[in-house]
Amino acid sequence: MANPYVVQIEMSGQHFMLLNEGPASDPNPSISFMVMCEDAAETEING
């Protein structure tokens, strides 16, 4: 069994971490985002 791996990249000034669980999971079209914020106010929608 292959080991999972992590790759960190930067695109347009944004940092991304790509995770691969290896052969333990079937491929699927899902994606998840984790947003790092200094405080809860950054997550508020201004509109």
Give the up-direction half-sphere exposure of residue 18: CA atoms within 13 A in the CB hemisphere.
Answer: 7
Residue 10 is predicted with a pLDDT of: 93
pLDDT tens profile 2-43: 566 888 999 998 888 888 877 777 878 888 887 788 888 888
* pLDDT for residue 47 is more than 70: no
Q: How many domains does the chain have?
A: 1
Rounded Cα distance, 20 and 3, in Å: 9
Instruction: State residue 4's pLDDT score.
Output: 67
Q: Which domain holds residue 30?
A: 5-43
